[in-house]
């Protein structure tokens, strides 16, 4: 029996949308199965993403907010509802751009509803009494919050990153919140809410906010959050939660604290429990679906992408996985996933951005004597002084050959600057080429060339013979009359 579709995509995540669009542009016949309730989750995901950018004064100016007054307020900002309305309008525009109607206009067969895989008479996906049969299947169904096992938490109740925005959109939202977890989204939301006058306590059970960040950048980020009014408690575990009157109480280490509401942001788990994956031989656990380097699951006709295969919920990485999976699925599975040159950003203010290896990771993989750590601080930049953005650091991890192994940036425009390093790494551009970069002046791009020059300084400092040769040549030139 011939297949009805070249590709059947299960899940309405943004990665699934991008995969469907990319496959149709290649001429494939595509079906997208979208649970109706899942679209609402996407809406709040976009709203959360828009909400975090209200940290920036330029957005406040655009919608008429006086941020100098906001920062001085100890109570919940009167402008919060205005910001929520603005964020909703932007979210509505984004959703319209990524609508199912747009996919349908491109020829994607849209099926609303939930379904499951079956193997008889052959591999297919059954939804709404309809059996979809495709040559290849792609799981892009996103994830849901993983709730930690804390005594009293279920009974007391909590919010998650999925339902926080509708809750805070009410007329009189609570002003005292505790956020559990150190994922990028929790840091962004903590800073955003604190900026608008919420009393925020962020609790993380790790020593650093993220194991993927350079320790010094993690410390700078903590300092920035605390300067913005967030109480950060890291390396502390919450052991119990209780409802006492109209307040909630948490036991965090040896501290007992009162709050009006708890937000859980400790991680995600895949939305796959209803898909009957075990029947079709797809292995998974509570944290992720197992895939190979081509993004094939343990059933080679079924691929997966996005946060259901593990890691943080980051749009650019999910989209990269979606495009890789599509090309492997529609043609031959030859393209290997490579995260080494993929940048990621924590959209706090300032941003924290990273690509490649940290210094600690590089020292584990290579001989330490071959590793050069180059650092430069934002306070050296003219534009940083002009815009009062002097808090920041750029750190390059480089091999003695000049190969760039990684970069971490904390500071203004870090999200844009890290893209340059990511491109350089993907094209195997050496650090010496960054030294010769002549970025527009004044601009934050100078931090890259300044940091790269540190590699030259360190190389010269280690090469005593070269230093002597240079000094001898310069001495010769001084005595040489033209």
**Residues annotated within a binding site for FAD:** 115, 307
What value, to the nearest 5°, has the Cα angle with vertex 30 and ends 25 and 36? Answer: 115
- 259 touches 168 (CB < 8 A): no
Spatial strand order of the sheet with 134-139 comes to: 109-112, 30-34, 5-10, 134-139, 302-304
Give the annotated binding-site residues for NAD(+): 181-188, 267
ω into 121 cis (within 30 of 0) = yes
Neighbouring-strand partners of residue 115 = 127
Residue 171: phi and psi, rounded to 5, are -65, -40
Beta strand pairing status for 5-10 and 30-34? parallel
Q: Please choose, from the candidates 86, 62, 76, the residue with its C-alpha nearest in 3D space to the C-alpha of residue 193.
A: 76
The three-state DSSP-derived secondary structure of 133-144 is CEEEEEECCCEE
Angle between helices 414-426 and 446-462 (to 10 degrees): 50
- 357 touches 405 (CB < 8 A): yes
Q: Which two tokens stand for residue 158?
A: 């909590």
Q: How far, in Å, CA of 25 to CA of 21, rounded?
A: 6
Close Cβ partners of 349 (under 8 Å, ≥ 6 residues apart): 55, 56, 191, 224
Question: 35-50 burial by CB neighbour count: b if 16+ within 10 A, else e?
Answer: beebeebbbbbbbbbb
Other Cβ atoms less than 10 A from the Cβ of 256: the count is 11
DSSP characters for 181-201? --SHHHHHHHHHHHHTT-EEE
Give the annotated binding-site residues: 115, 181-188, 267, 307
For residue 294, the surrounding DSSP H or E stretch is none
């Amino acid at each position: 029996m011939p297949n009805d579709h070249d590709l059947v995509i299960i899940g309405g995540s943004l990665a699934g949308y991008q995969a469907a669009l990319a496959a149709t542009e290649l001429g494939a016949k595509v079906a997208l199965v979208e649970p109706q309730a899942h679209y609402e989750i996407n809406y709040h995901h976009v709203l959360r993403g828009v909400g975090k950018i209200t940290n920036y004064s330029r957005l406040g100016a655009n919608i008429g907010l006086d941020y100098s007054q906001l920062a001085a307020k100890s109570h919940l900002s009167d402008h919060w509802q205005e910001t929520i309305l603005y964020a909703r309008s932007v979210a509505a525009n984004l959703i319209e751009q990524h609508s199912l109607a747009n996919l349908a206009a491109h020829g994607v067969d849209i099926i609303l509803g939930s379904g499951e895989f079956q193997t008889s008479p052959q591999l297919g996906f059954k939804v709404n009494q309809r059996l979809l049969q495709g040559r290849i299947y792609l799981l892009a169904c996103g994830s849901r919050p993983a709730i930690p096992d804390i005594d009293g938490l279920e009974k007391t109740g909590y919010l998650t990153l999925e339902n926080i925005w509708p809750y805070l959109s009410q007329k009189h939202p609570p002003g005292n919140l505790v956020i559990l977890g150190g994922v990028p989204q929790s840091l962004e939301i903590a800073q955003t809410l604190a900026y608008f006058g919420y009393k925020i306590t962020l609790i993380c059970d790790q020593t650093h906010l993220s194991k993927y960040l350079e320790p010094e950048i993690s410390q700078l980020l903590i300092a920035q959050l605390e300067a913005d009014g967030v109480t950060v408690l890291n390396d502390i575990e919450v052991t119990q939660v209780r409802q006492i009157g109209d307040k909630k109480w948490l036991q965090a280490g040896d501290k007992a604290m009162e709050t009006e509401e708890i937000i859980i942001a400790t991680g995600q788990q895949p939305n796959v429990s209803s898909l009957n994956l075990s029947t079709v031989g797809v292995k998974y656990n509570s944290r992720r679906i197992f895939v190979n380097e081509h993004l094939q699951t343990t059933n080679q006709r079924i691929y997966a992408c996005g946060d259901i295969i593990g890691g943080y919920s980051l749009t650019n990485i999910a989209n990269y996985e979606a495009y890789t999976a599509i090309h492997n699925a529609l043609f031959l599975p030859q393209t290997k996933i490579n995260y080494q040159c993929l940048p990621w950003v924590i959209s706090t203010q300032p941003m924290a951005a990273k690509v490649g290896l940290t210094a600690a990771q590089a020292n584990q993989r290579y001989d330490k004597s071959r590793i050069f750590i180059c650092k430069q601080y934002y306070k050296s930049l003219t534009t940083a002084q002009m815009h009062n953005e002097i808090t920041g650091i750029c750190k390059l991890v480089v091999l003695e050959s000049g190969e760039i192994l990684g970069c971490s940036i904390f500071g203004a425009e870090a999200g844009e600057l890290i893209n340059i390093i990511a491109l350089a790494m993907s094209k195997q551009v050496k650090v010496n080429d960054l030294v010769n970069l002549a970025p527009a002046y004044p601009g934050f791009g100078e931090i890259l060339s300044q940091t790269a020059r540190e590699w030259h300084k360190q190389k010269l400092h280690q090469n005593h013979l070269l230093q002597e040769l240079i000094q001898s040549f310069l001495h010769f030139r001084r005595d040489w009359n033209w």
